Amino acid sequence: MRRSVSGGCFVNCAANTWKNFNMREIHHRACNLCEAICGLRIEVENGAIVSIKGDPEDPLSRGHICPKAIALKDLQEDPDRLRKPIRKRVTESGDIEWDEISWPEALDLVAERLTTIYSRHGVDAIGIYLGNPTVHNYGMMTHQKVLFTHLRTRNRYSATSCDQLPHHMASLWLFGHKNLFPIPDIDRTDYFLMLGANPVASNGSIWTVPDVRKRIKDMKKRGAKLVVVDPRHTETAKLATEHHFIRPGTDAAFLLSVLHTLFVEGLVNLRELDPLVTGLGDVEAAIASFDAEWAAPHCGVDATTIKRITRELAAANAGICYGRMGVSTQAFGALNQWLIYLINIVTGNLDRPGGSLFTTPAMDSVSTSSPGGFARAHSRVRGLPEFDRELPVAALAEEILTSGEGQIRALFTGAGNPVLSTPNGRKLDEALDSLEFMVSLDPYLNETTRHSDVILPPTSPLEHDHFDLSFHLNAVRNTARMNDPVFEPPSGSLHDWQIFNGLGERVARILGMEHRDLPEPQHIVAMAIEHGPYGEERGLTLEEIRQHPSGVDLGPLKAQLPDRLRTPDKRINCATPAALGDLERVGEYFTGDPSALLLIGRRDVRTNNSWMHNYKRLVKGRDRCTLLAHPADMKKRGITDGDRVRVSSRVGSLELAVEGTEHMMPGVVSIPHGWGHNRPGSRLEIASSHSGESCNDLTDEQDVDRLSGNAVLNGVPVEMTLLS
């Protein structure tokens, strides 16, 4: 085992920790604060973190970290982070106070209240919402079913439906499994067409790509080309070979015209995919009217440029078309991802080195989880379709507020803050206040959990072991790592998996159901690895992975089709009926007011949703929650740089400072996601002093992708006026 530490004389090594004579310890760890899962070396002295650095021996991140990793120290030491369960109490004067209670009392209370509502109103009276951090913590993922198997409510929601739901749908349609994501092979590509993505800020998304800035620079050095299409000249666009503005919400027009050009100019070249692909004739006929001349006035990219980009992509030895949040969270999110997959297929760039490839993770959820399903049930009020047994979160507020059978009366939230992260947060705020009971598994009293009756805080990320279940599935290279805790959990604390075991046992006992606790997450992972692709082929075990704390390199991505497909016939049927049917509304949609001001979100490298703003290292410096607008749009309204403006939509308005920049497309404004820490009753001192405004007080829960039910968070019509 390598002694990957600097300085000192070391004795007594464990797999993930080294100690020197000065009682300093070096812990190897993966950062769990975003999808990049960068390898870290965390130096601890006398129980406190003194240094966090990138691990140069990590085969995936290669020593890279971003500012978020440094903030793990702030998270661990945050005085606002809850250490014990708390229960809400309303005083005689009507004030709200919170009392610490024991774990047995807390778990008993939650189980009793949930089962009482279940018995009175049925299981659908219980709602479940799981937030983005769920997938960053393997105990949340392995053990939630211990509770929810006893609460089989149809009212399940998550951050998926205001994020990556279209990716899951397109993967299910074409490849037979919700988690079969084609991953851009940036390190070997010749041409990269990127839409609605800003990996320099996000470190990749549905694409685990640490140190993407260096990878882009290396890509360009070898003569490859990066073309970014985005309504904002983003941090990634600044590194690109070229950038083109596109009007928000019109990516479907652009993508349809690219696919159309490939067909009509005879540029389709399936290469090795030829025997696996069916249905292209039906697709070609269905999109026959969507040429570049039709698309250009709608999307703002001229027809000549669209055709040139298409020809360049088709001519490349290996090319990539990739789109992310900007194309997913809009009115044609599912159609967009389907079109992106088709473009990669018809250019022969799917399952091709330098194109888009499927990963082979050590713990392979594609082999161990159900493929997913769509529209087997619909929401009670609006009839929105489920995907993988979850309803669109845009329906959550109305399912709480609308009376009748199946009305949500109790809510369980886990690692989520939907008041800030889902559309029309103010309406959801109102809805949560009307619940009979709410419980949150969360380390913070935040804008959502302040509505809870009980908050159950798990141990911190550095107080439990860690194996990433999700993001190796999306990574640019196959690797694996298992890390032990940096700190021992405090006496009397519970990990999230222990909380689920405790609640599941109590709920089952009250309801008279059979129950079985699950073992620790690492035992589940160990078994999955033993029976996974590397366990069966080369005898890889979790213990072997643990003995390499910087991670085990399992090799580059490689072609795997048709074996990796999960379709019944091991073929890719491109003529997806749901997607072809959605083409009918394309022409109708692109007839709106071209002069309307449209809102988009944005991401900063220091933040990942609402849970990053209570750490001083991530909020220091300039105000990042500002409105970006083009100077021409400001001049038209008598607004100058630094003015405070009111931005209004159908559902609400907010006030904030404006920054003029030609990096915005005219007719487009931008507010970052995850802010709005100005609601009373939370306990987030630093976040409250840097509160900002929530862009989701402007997004509209009634505006969804009609095909998938995914929230529309980009291309929201707004008005901007100067505050007097």
In this structure, the number of other CB atoms found within 10 A of the CB of residue 511 comes to 16
Q: What six digits make up the tokens of 531?
A: 């029976």
pLDDT of residue 19: 54
**Which domains can be identified in the chain, with CATH numbers?**
10-70 (3.30.200.210), 165-362+561-584 (3.40.228.10), 593-722 (2.40.40.20)
Average confidence (pLDDT) over 579-595: 86
Mean pLDDT of the chain: 95
Q: What six digits make up the tokens of 401?
A: 């507020």
Angle between helices 292-299 and 251-264 (to 10 degrees): 160
Average confidence (pLDDT) over 192-219: 96
Interatomic CA distance for residues 633 and 630, integer angstroms: 5
pLDDT of residue 573: 98
Q: How far is CA 697 from CA 45, 140, 450, in A?
A: 44, 29, 18
pLDDT classification of 254: cutoffs 50, 70, 90: very high
Read off the pLDDT of residues 22-41 as tens digits, 9 standing for 90 and up.
578 999 999 999 999 999 99
Read off the pLDDT of residues 473-532 as tens digits, 9 standing for 90 and up.
999 999 999 999 999 999 999 999 999 999 999 999 999 999 999 999 999 999 999 999
The letter for the amino acid at 406 is G
Query: Strand 277-278 relative to strand 572-573: parallel, antiparallel, unpaired?
Result: parallel
**Number of residues assigned to the chain:** 724
Residue in the block written with tokens 């260096």: 214
Return the bridge partners of 90, or none.
96
Phi, psi (rounded to 5 degrees) for 638: 70, 35
Question: Dihedral through CA 252, CA 257, CA 262, CA 265, nearest 10?
Answer: 170
pLDDT of residue 4: 36
Q: How far apart are the first and last CA of the chain?
A: 66
pTM: 0.95
pLDDT classification of 3: cutoffs 50, 70, 90: very low
Q: For the chain, what percent of residues have pLDDT higher than 70?
A: 97
Q: How far is CA 381 from CA 159, 392, 398, in A?
A: 20, 12, 7
pLDDT of residue 18: 54
Question: Dihedral through CA 15, CA 18, CA 23, CA 24, nearest 10?
Answer: -120
Whether residue 524 contacts residue 518, with contact meaning beta carbons closer than 8 Å, is answered with yes
Q: How far is CA 101 from CA 87, 89, 105, 445, 612, in A?
A: 7, 12, 6, 15, 27
Interatomic CA distance for residues 528 and 544, integer angstroms: 14
Whether residue 431 contacts residue 135, with contact meaning beta carbons closer than 8 Å, is answered with no
Residue 396 has pLDDT above 60, yes or no: yes
pLDDT of residue 11: 35
Residue 159 has pLDDT above 90, yes or no: yes
**Which stretches of 272-332 are DSSP H helices?**
280-286, 292-299, 303-315, 325-328
In this structure, the number of other CB atoms found within 10 A of the CB of residue 524 comes to 22
Q: What six digits make up the tokens of 63?
A: 């020593």
Residue 630 has pLDDT above 90, yes or no: yes
pLDDT of residue 592: 66
In this structure, the number of other CB atoms found within 10 A of the CB of residue 291 comes to 18
pLDDT of residue 594: 75
Read off the pLDDT of residues 75-134 as tens digits, 9 standing for 90 and up.
999 999 999 999 999 999 999 999 999 999 999 999 999 999 999 999 999 999 999 999
Average confidence (pLDDT) over 690-713: 97
List CB contacts of 227: < 8 A, sequence separation 6 or more. 191, 192, 193, 194, 240, 241, 242, 243, 244, 309, 312
Angle at 167 between CA 165 and CA 171, to 5 degrees: 120
Whether residue 307 contacts residue 261, with contact meaning beta carbons closer than 8 Å, is answered with yes
Residue 14 has pLDDT above 90, yes or no: no
